[in-house]
């Protein structure tokens, strides 16, 4: 069907695009405090994580012996914990991928 001769389609399209007067300001004003408070929560969590990481490193800076199958080395306990965490994360991701692939086939 070609365009309507009386222009109703254009008016309806324009009405859909333009919000009612006063509505955007109220919605924006209502969202602003939530966004700002959420920003402060994020900042507080980030500072807490940074403080925890600094305390973790300071508490676990002792040198420890690590015995491998073919040798021994002495490194900081922090590094031992972080390396074990990384190995565990990579292993968990790989195992979950294998599980997901196996479930798709069946």
Over residues 66-95, the pLDDT tens digits come to 998 899 999 999 999 999 999 999 999 999
| 9 belongs to a structural domain | no
The total domain count for the chain is 2
**69 and 55 co-located in one domain:** no
**67 and 106 co-located in one domain:** yes
Is 60 exposed, middle or buried (CB count within 10 Å of its CB: 0-12, 13-18, 19+)?
Answer: middle
**69 and 44 co-located in one domain:** no
**53 and 38 co-located in one domain:** yes
**32 and 53 co-located in one domain:** yes
Residue 90, token pair as written in the block? 């990579």
Residue 103's pLDDT band, with cuts at 50, 70 and 90, is confident
| Whole-number pLDDT of residue 68 | 85
Task: Reply yes or no on whether the pLDDT at 8 is more than 80.
Answer: no
CB 87 within 8 A of CB 74: no
φ, ψ of residue 67 in degrees (nearest 5): -100, 115
Report the mean per-residue pLDDT for the chain.
79
Q: Which domain holds residue 73?
A: 63-106
């Amino acid at each position: 069907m070609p365009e309507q001769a009386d222009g109703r389609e254009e008016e309806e399209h324009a009405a859909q695009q333009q919000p009612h007067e006063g509505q955007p300001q109220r919605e924006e004003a209502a969202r602003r405090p939530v966004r700002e408070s959420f920003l402060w929560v994020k900042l507080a969590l980030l500072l807490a994580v940074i403080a925890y990481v600094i305390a973790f490193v300071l508490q676990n800076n002792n040198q420890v012996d690590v015995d491998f199958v073919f040798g021994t080395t002495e490194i900081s306990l922090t590094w031992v914990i972080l390396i074990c965490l990384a190995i565990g994360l990579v292993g968990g991701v790989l195992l979950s991928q294998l599980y997901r692939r196996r479930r798709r086939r069946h």
